[in-house]
Structure 1
Amino acid sequence: MNLIERLNQDMKTAMKNKEKTTLSVIRMVRSSIKNKEIELKQPLTEEEALDVVTKELKQQRDSLQEFEQAGREDLAQKARDEIAVLEKYMPEQLTEAELKKIVQEAIASTGATSKADMGKVMKAVMPRVKGRADGKWVNRLVQEGLQ
């Protein structure tokens, strides 16, 4: 079952079980997917749909950080709940050891030696970890690897 079919199936289940948060998050993601399909004038591939979910997850994480800094625990908890729902649709996340290995391979294959080569390394790493690791985490590991 692909991502879009899973979203549709889970939306029906959430409606039946009266899970408001899950239903709201799934509707938001489906809306974003539909907008992207309209923008591209074609149905999304599995990878493009995953990109939409990843973007929504990143936005929720950014919101969570802002809510916590502002001391809005009510909104922060709502964001945490929405993040938990979105994470169910993401592929299994890489471990730190797996990610470090990918970063080291990319540094070796690009011949990067300093932080000036960071763009080359990130360009090599990101397609390999798409949806399985947070970009900020990858960025930090690349910086550590280039020191």
Structure 2
Amino acid sequence: MALKDQIMADLKQAMKDKDQDKLKVLRSLKAKLLEREISERKEGEATLSDEQTVEVLMKAAKQRKESIEQFGEGGREDLVASEEAELEIINSYLPKMLSEEEVRDVAREKIEALGAENMADMGKVMGVMMQELKGKAEGSLVSKVVKEELS
């Protein structure tokens, strides 16, 4: 079953179960997916691939993480808890993310393969890394690891 179809099926189930928290998150995701689908249309209809769906989900997860950080700094623990619950639901649809060590292993491999030696080569390494790790690791983590390895 496609990831988008799974989200829609879970949305229907959340309606039946009257699970308001999950329903709110899934409706939000449905809106974001629909918005992305519309933007992808050229002529007629377009359906999102699982990869595109994961991109939308990762963006939503990133927004939640940023909100958690902001609310935490502002001392709004009630909102932090709410955002963390939403993030947990979103993460349940995302593929397992790579750990920092796994990203570091890939980075070392790519740096060696490309013959990168210093920070001037970071763009070249990042391009290859992000293409390979898209949907498997956050860009900020990849960037941090590549900087450390090139330093």
When normalised by structure 1's length, the TM-score is 0.94
Structure 2 counterpart of 1:58, from 53, 59, 62: 62
Q: Describe how 1:49-128 pairs up with structure 2 within 5 A.
A: 49-128=53-132
Aligned to 1:7: 7
Deviation, structure 1 residue 4: 0.7
Cα distance in 1 for partners of 2:30, 2:133 equals 23
Aligned to 1:47: 51
User: What is the identity, as a one-letter code, of the residue corresponding to 1:125?
Assistant: M
Gaps of 5+ in 1: none
Cα distance in 2 for partners of 1:21, 1:132 equals 26
Identity %: 35
Q: Is the 8 A contact 2:100 2:141 kept in 1?
A: no
Alpha-carbon displacement from aligned partner over 1:54-77 (angstroms, at most 9, x marks no partner): 111111111111111111111111
Cα distance in 2 for partners of 1:145, 1:17 equals 49
Q: CA RMSD in A?
A: 1.2
Alpha-carbon displacement from aligned partner over 1:26-81 (angstroms, at most 9, x marks no partner): 11111111011111112211111111111111111111111111111111111101
User: What is the identity, as a one-letter code, of the residue corresponding to 1:6?
Assistant: Q
Aligned to 1:18: 18
Cα distance in 2 for partners of 1:89, 1:81 equals 14
